[in-house]
Amino acid sequence: MDYTYTNENGELEAVELEKWCWGVAYKDGTELHQFDKSGNFHRLSEINQKDLELFTMYEAEGTGRYDIVMPEGARIIHKYRNIRPFYMDKFVKVYMFGYRTGKKDFEYHYHFILPDKRMVISNVNNIDLAKFELNR
């Protein structure tokens, strides 16, 4: 399926399906998915964070899934990291997601999905992901 969204210029743009996608469930039971069944790509800015109950990262083609029950007032964090450890000859994509409840380190909750589906959890954003043997 092809996925599209309307960019800032009002033009339709194509987006490739990610290996890991986000989805949210709201307190009223409705959901929003990064890539929906109608072929639409949604951005994080479209999420109504004040009514959020659950944030999920799931494999687009697979069974992997990680859920976070969102604390009241928390804000979603979602980014990608393309890293090239010294022991590899290619870049690998690491998916980072989580939430923050404030501005101090201990108020951040980061989850990193490694290429082999392992999860690393930290309250620090700049951990050395290469030490987790990404080529295994």
Residue 58 in domain: yes
Structural domain count of the chain = 1
Q: How far from the centroid of its chain's Cα atoms is residue 27's Cα?
A: 20
Residue 120 in domain: yes
Residue 81 in domain: yes
Residue 59 in domain: yes
Q: Does the pLDDT of residue 133 top 80, yes or no? A: no
Cα–Cα distance, 107 to 56 (Å, whole number)? 19
What's residue 105's pLDDT? 64
State pLDDT tens for residues 45-89: 999 999 999 999 999 999 999 999 999 999 999 999 988 877 878
Q: CA-based angle 15:24:26, to the nearest 5?
A: 140
Cα–Cα distance, 98 to 109 (Å, whole number)? 5
What's residue 40's pLDDT? 96
Residue 110 sits in which domain range? 3-127
* pTM recorded for the entire structure: 0.87
